[in-house]
Each structure stands twice: as C-alpha cells, then as structure tokens.
Chain A
Amino acid sequence: MDRNEVLEKLTPIFREQLDNEEIELNAETTAEDIEEWDSLSHIQLIVAIEKAFGIRFTSSEIQSWDNVGEMIDSIISK
C-alpha cells in the first residue's frame, strides 16, 4: 500500500469517527486543524484505524505522531 492509498482509506474513517463529512486529510493535518479531533475522540480513531487495517500500534508509536503523515508512516511500516 502506498501513502496515497493509506490516506484514501483513512479519510472515511476520520469522517465517520469524528462525525464530520467535510474532513479533508493530508500528510500535514494535525489535531489542531480538525475541531472534533480531541483527546477523547483520538482513542476511538486509533481503535477504528487498527481494526480497518488489521494492525496494532505500540503506545510509543501513537504518542510520537505529530501529524497524519507520521501516522501513515507507522501504518505502512506494519
């Protein structure tokens, strides 16, 4: 899977979990850019992503992300 494919697959997950159909993601997107993305919804988002991709992140991976691009790197590395 390349970065664009991962991004395409991530977008509907973000939209559904954060209940906002207008979300547009790119590698630089951060929680600051999406109002509904807060510390509580973050966890629901991670669980949904892990389920959709059939992977399991480590705690330190999750905590090291600064933007969606770094999240994509972790998904590709699995």
Chain B
Amino acid sequence: MLLLIGSYIFYSSWSWNFLSLLILSTLATFFIGNKIRQSEGRAKVYWMRGGVFLVLIQLLYFKYFNFFIENFNDVLKLFGRQDHLGLLKIIFPIGISFYSFRMIGYLLDIRNNKLKEIPALLDYSVFVAFFPCIIAGPIDKAGPFLKNLKSKREFSSLSFSDGLRQILWGLFKKMVVADNIAAITSPIFESYHTLNGSTLFIGAVLYFIQLYCDFSGYTDMAIGISKLLGIKIQPNFNYPLFAQNVADYWRRWHISLTSWLTEYVFTPLSIRFRDYDKYGLIMAIIINFLVVGFWHGAEWHYIVHGLVSGIMFIPVIRKGKMNKKIKSQSNLIPTKDELKNIPVTFIMFALLMVLFFSSDMKMALAYYREIFSLSFFRVPNFKFQKLIALLIVFTLVIEWIHRDKEYALKDLFIRNNRVMRWGFYYLLIFLICLFYIAPKGFIYAQF
C-alpha cells in the first residue's frame, strides 16, 4: 500500500493532473484482465482485443492525435483543398508509453495463459505505477514483477549496498557524462547548417554516447532504487556501445522494450507470416521496427528511424546469421573480431542516431548530406572541450573492463582493499559535484 501511495505521489509530482487517468486506466485494465481470465473461446479474444484497444486509444489520443490531423491536412493540401482541421492543444501525460505497454503486456499474458494467477488489485496497481520505472521504464513483465512483489522481502546489507553502488554509477553517467556531452551536442544541433561534415559526424557520435549514458544512467538509478526496496526489476542495457552486429546491438539496447516487442509484435507476426520463409521474417521485423519508431513519437523522423532499423536487419536474416549469439567476453585486450566488428557497428548506429535526434526529416537529410560531403575531411569548425573526451574515455574504459557484469561498477575493486574501493567511489562523487551543471530532464522521459 505504501509503495502504491508513494508511486502515486511521485507521479503527481511530475504530472498531477493525469493521476486520475492513470488510476482509471489501471482499474479498467484490471477489470478487463479478470474478464479475459473468466471467459472462454471467442469472448476471451473479444475482451482481450477490447482491453488492448482501450489502452491504445488513450495512447493514440494523447500522443498521436495531432500527428494524424497534420498529415490529414497535408493530404488535403495535396488535393488543392484550402480547408483544414484544427489541431488540439493536448498535454502529454508523462510515462504514458511506458505504463500503457505494461498494461497491454498484462492483458496479453492473461490471454496467452502466461500469467498463471490474477494478482490482487493493489499489486497490479503497483506493477503499473511503480515509481522508479513509470517515467522511463524499464517495461517489466507482469509475471516476474508480481512474483517478486509477493515474495517476502528482507533487508540485506549486500543488496542494499549493491543498489547504492548502481545508483552512484547511474548518477555519474547521467550527470557527469550525458549532461556535459549535451552542453556540446545542443549547440551543434542548433547551428548544424553552419558546421562542416566532420563536426556533424562527431556530433552524432557524441549524441550516441550521450543518449546511452542518459538512458542507461536513469535505468541504473531505477534498478538501484528498486534494489533498495528489495524488488528486482528487468535490466535495460547490456553494454550496447560494444555490440558486434545489428542483432547483437538490439539484444543490448533498451532490452525491456525490444523484448516486449519481440514477444507481443514480432513473434505473433512472424508466426502468422511463417509460410513466406525469410520474407515473412523480414516483413515481421520491418513492422516491428516501425512500431519502435512510432512508439518514440508521432514524428516522421522517428518512423523513418524505425524503418531503417528494420532494413538494417535484412542482411542478418538473409545470411541466416541471426541465431549465432555472441558470448559475453571479459578479456581486457579486444579480440580480432571485436576490433573489427565493434567500431563498424558503433559508427553505423551513431549515424542512425541522426534520424533520432533531428527535429524533423528536413534537418536529418541536411545533416546526412553534410556528413557524406567532402567537408567530412575538413578540420572540425567547432571548439570541443578536451576534458569531455577524457571523461568519455574514462567511462568507456570502466564499462569495457566490466562488460560481463550487470553494471560496470558492480564488482569494481571489490576484491581490493577498502581504501582503494572507497577512494574510487569518492572520486566519482567528487566528479559528480565538479561537473554538475543545471539539471536536465531525462531524454526518455519525453516518450
């Protein structure tokens, strides 16, 4: 009960006017979940569809309504019509994309008999509104989360200190690395039309690292806080900057969203299209990534980002290389394969980021045009702070050394003496204080 009240107070502090929407949709989906469990045959399917439709309709209204109106008006213009539909002033409820996906997952799990027991309303409400995860995920699955919530939680100093350590690493990545890179990337993106190709390329690379540190920093804090409460939640990142190919990257980046989509979008579609062999898989993966793009927002550049991500998967599927999972390594010196694959994958996804951070397709296309022009070979015409490069290298080295661990700080200096370990923690705290700049919101809180 305390967790639920705390979560609602936390949500109200971000978006008090939408608390009632959160509570109402929690009640509605809980009721529909019960109906799905009780019904048989077609009725079961209808209740499930009705529930998913209800969640999607609120998501579509708040997040996508104006997108459809704008595009409808563009089509009217194409046919020479001067009249147009007016846009609505819709305020976006924070966290709606995250909690909506939790609700849909819950309903589908009941329908597919994956959730063996219907939870109590109180537990379900905590699952939907759990405060560390409501703003920007991870998007947990109902089964493991509820099992965890119900099991007896006892205080353990080991897991408490583990949680604190993860929060510290998350804070460092967010406040030192991400926010300070943002101080470089923001002016680059604002004046991109005056900058040359090499500068814009560095801007894209920096943004990739910034987004990773921002989002994985948030996630580390969310997981760390949950650990303090004795609740284990799903991981969201597994060192994606060190991915070795496209499939490997998507197994490491925003894991809770990609595994959600794999289970509820890609798998059902690929089952349906299975008679078309690899073409069926390609169709399913393209639709899956279009949903990823659209999930991020009602903007064409997100949708194209999703489409390109799906297209990038085609060679992997055609080669049949998708079922060769890369084992996680812990060697300090990179292997030949790592030296060859990691930089190529990194640059590929850094370039893809242009579609992500651009404010619209016009900016993305102009940005790409400049990167792929001869000005790429010129000296950057932007003054970069060298200290930031040092911070990035420091962070990446720590992450590289411990890339087989849950998070980079987990076992760092654990076996060494206490002075060394605490010295390192104090160094991180010192760097956080030193590089602290006015707090910026989390990038993923806008989705």
Contact = CB atoms under 8 A, between A and B. Distances in A.
A71 to B, nearest CB: 13
Given A38-B322, A38-B323, A38-B325, A43 B270 contact: yes
A77 interface: no
Interface string B161-177: 00000000000000000
B98 interface: no
Contacts of B267: 39, 42-43, 63
Nearest to B313: A40
Given A43-B271, A46-B274, A63-B268, A36 B323 contact: yes
Interface string B243-273: 0000100000000000000100011101110
Interface in A28-53: 35-43, 46-47
Is chain B's interface secondary structure helix, strand, loop, or mixed overall? helix
Contacts of A42: 267
Is chain A's interface secondary structure helix, strand, loop, or mixed overall? helix
B355 to A, nearest CB: 24
Given A35-B325, A66-B114, A40 B268 contact: no
Contacts of A37: 323
Interface string B211-255: 000000000000000000000000000000000000100000000
Contacts of A47: 274-275, 277
Contact of A36 (B271, B274, B324): B324
B252 to A, nearest CB: 13
Nearest to A70: B113
Nearest to A20: B323
Contacts of B275: 47
A59 B323 contact: no
Nearest to A60: B112
Interface of A: 18-19, 35-43, 46-47, 59-60, 62-64, 66
22 contacts: A35-B325, A36-B323, A36-B325, A37-B323, A38-B323, A39-B262, A40-B247, A40-B281, A40-B322, A41-B322, A41-B323, A42-B267, A43-B270, A46-B271, A59-B271, A60-B112, A63-B267, A63-B268, A64-B112, A64-B113, A64-B114, A66-B114
